[in-house]
């Protein structure tokens, strides 16, 4: 029997509640009026906390001005398409969101939907740094008895520079990649961080580690460890707690401060000796 849609009532609340995207209704006064669970889950605040403060207070300080400008533009009845900005979670972690918003002038509200693009940004940054470091080292990174197979796979990736992979990583791959990063951040600068240690923590073989990192990010595990360590160094510098290149170098797991300083400047365009004075 055909379903007569005109006689069917759909409860859109189910769609609203279950959507993985961030759905919200915001007032022209700059406060959330209605949000779905994805908003609280992504930012780590309760609904009450999110709705009791101005939306801009959750935005990354460096993005507040442009976000406010966009909000004023929406209030002039200009829809917003694919606007990217950063929010800070309750744990002070950066989350990148891509917003599409539509004003409802009659009710003085904005209907908005946001996609969490944090990992897209992170993966692109991984790849950018890898390109800057150069690909020649990749050919030397081989694993135990699989030398011939791994050598062939790495050579095939030589044309990767600056390009996205053919397909985006799956949610499971992204979760796994976060586990990899957490392990590196836990041990970097404290112990001799080897691929064997990472494999033991993740419960995988070195071959499996190589294949999954290579499939997800397009680089080798050793290269990914180096990239994460550089990001750890950048974050440490931004805290203003460190005054010497040696301190930062040791924190990020680099044995030679001069080499670390050279690589860091190449990647981020920052001369450490000047900003650490």
Are 99 and 174 members of one domain? no
79 and 128 belong to one structural domain: no
Q: Of 82, 99, 116, which residue is a domain's last?
A: 116
Same-domain check for residues 107 and 124: no
What pLDDT does 144 receive? 40
DSSP letter, residue 126? H
Number of domains in the chain: 2
Residue from 198, 176, 204, 199 nearest 185 by CA: 198
Per-residue pLDDT at 3:
45
The pairs formed by 68-72 with CB atoms below 8 angstroms and a separation of 24 or more are 71/30, 71/110
pLDDT of residue 134: 65
Expressed as residue numbers, the domain containing 230 is 120-275
* Nearest alpha carbon to residue 109 among 156, 75, 132: 75
Same domain, 178 and 240: yes
**Residue 33 and residue 164 in one domain:** no
- Give the residue from 87, 116, 145 where a domain finishes: 116
pLDDT attached to residue 151: 42
Sign of CA dihedral 213, 218, 123, 263: positive
3-state helix, strand, coil in the chain (%, to 5): 60, 15, 25
Is residue 30 located within the same domain as residue 108? yes
- Position 235 scores a pLDDT of 87
Q: Which residues pair with 101 in a beta bridge?
A: 80, 112
Say whether both 134 and 263 belong to one domain.
yes
How far is 114 from 109, CA to CA, in rounded Å?
A: 16
Interaxial angle between packed helices 171-187 and 221-239, expressed in degrees from 0 to 180 and rounded to the nearest 10: 60
Asked whether residue 143 falls in the same domain as residue 267, the answer is yes
Of 68, 101, 116, the residue that ends a domain is: 116
Please enumerate, as own/partner, the contacts of 75-83 that have beta carbons within 8 Å and a separation of 24 or more.
75/28, 75/103, 77/103, 77/105, 78/103, 79/103, 80/112
For residue 251, what is the domain's CATH number? 1.10.10.60
For residues 35 and 58, membership in a common domain is answered with yes
CATH of the domain at 74: 3.30.450.20
Measure the CA–CA gap between 97 and 84, rounded to whole angstroms. 6
Q: Are residues 126 and 72 in the same domain?
A: no
38 and 92, same structural domain? yes
Sign of the torsion angle spanned by Cα atoms 134, 124, 235, 273: positive
Question: What integer pLDDT is reported at residue 160 of this predicted model?
Answer: 38
106 contact partners, CB below 8 Å, separation of at least 6: none
127 and 103 share a domain?
A: no
Profile the chain (277 residues) by mean pLDDT over runs of 10 residues: 48 71 94 95 95 96 95 94 95 93 94 92 82 53 39 40 50 87 92 91 94 88 91 87 89 90 86 77
Determine the pLDDT at residue 150. Answer: 41
pLDDT of amino acid 154 = 41
- Quote the pTM value: 0.67
Using CA atoms, how far apart are residues 168 and 117, in angstroms rounded to an integer? 12
């Amino acid at each position: 029997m055909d379903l007569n849609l005109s006689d069917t009532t759909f409860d859109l609340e189910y769609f609203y509640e279950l959507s993985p995207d961030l759905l919200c209704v915001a007032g022209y006064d700059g406060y959330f009026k209605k949000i779905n669970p994805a908003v609280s889950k992504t930012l780590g605040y309760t609904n009450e906390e999110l709705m009791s403060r101005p939306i801009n207070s959750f935005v990354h300080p460096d993005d507040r001005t442009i976000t406010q400008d966009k909000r004023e533009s929406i209030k002039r009845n200009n829809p917003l398409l694919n606007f990217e900005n950063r929010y800070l979670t309750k744990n002070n972690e950066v989350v990148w969101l891509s917003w599409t918003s539509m004003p409802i002038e009659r009710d003085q509200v904005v209907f908005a939907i946001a996609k969490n693009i944090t990992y897209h940004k992170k993966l692109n940054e991984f790849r950018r740094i890898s390109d800057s470091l150069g690909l020649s080292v990749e050919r030397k990174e081989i694993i135990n008895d699989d030398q011939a197979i791994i050598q062939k796979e790495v050579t095939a990736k030589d044309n990767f520079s600056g390009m996205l992979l053919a397909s985006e990583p799956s949610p499971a791959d992204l979760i796994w990649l976060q586990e990899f990063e957490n392990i590196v951040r836990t041990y970097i600068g404290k112990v001799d961080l080897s691929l064997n240690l990472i494999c033991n923590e993740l419960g995988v073989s070195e071959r499996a580690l190589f294949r999954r990192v290579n499939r997800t990010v397009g680089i080798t595990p050793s290269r990914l460890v180096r990239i994460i360590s550089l990001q750890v160094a950048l974050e440490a510098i931004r805290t203003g707690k460190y005054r010497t290149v040696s301190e930062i170098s040791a924190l990020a797991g680099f044995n030679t401060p001069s080499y670390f300083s050279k690589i860091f400047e190449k990647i981020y365009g920052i001369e450490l000796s000047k900003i650490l004075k």
